[in-house]
Amino acid sequence: MTPIYQGIDLVHVPRIREIMLARPRFVEEVFTRAEREYCLARRDPYPHFAGRFAAKEACLKALGTGLFGSGIDGALGEIEVISEKSGKPKLQLTGWTAGISRRKKISQFSVSISHSADYAVASVILGGRGHGGESDDWSIE
């Protein structure tokens, strides 16, 4: 049997905007350079930042830690949301979060992000290797 872990998060876009404007370092602490470039290239970057923040928190929930297990400054920066050429988001984990993923034998990652003017939502589903040890080509760096 393949273990499946799921996390979901909802973010209020105006709250992310408020935090970012009040504390500019927040952006550098939480988002990777590539994420910042992606979001800032959009006409209104805040829904995109909120969507990526929701994906990071949903990933932590799926890993079973949430923000309490790692702290906002650490783990959120280790989870990167990459956009494939098609626009489909993809997760890439490093550091502590990648270590948890390896211990749980996570071999599959799925992330979905949606946003409107006021809310962003993300769902993350992680699939572990079952007793057969089968895995697909998704990887952790």
* 2-30: pLDDT as tens digits: 899 999 999 999 999 999 999 989 999 99
Whether 61 sits among the annotated catalytic residues: the reply is yes
Pick the catalytic residue: 56, 90, 104, 115?
A: 115
State pLDDT tens for residues 76-110: 999 999 999 998 999 999 998 999 999 999 999 99
Q: Which CATH superfamily is domain 4-128 in?
A: 4'-phosphopantetheinyl transferase domain (3.90.470.20)
Q: How confident is the model at residue 75 (pLDDT cuts 50, 70, 90)?
A: confident
Query: Would you state the structure tokens that stand for residue 131, as one six-digit string?
Result: 């007793």
Alpha-carbon gap, residue 42 to 103, rounded angstroms: 37
pTM: 0.87
Q: Which of 61, 85, 90, 131 is an active site residue? A: 61
Residue 131 annotated as catalytic: no
User: What are the sequence ranges of the domains in the chain?
Assistant: 4-128
Asked if 63 and 101 count as a contact pair (C-beta separation under 8 A), the reply is yes
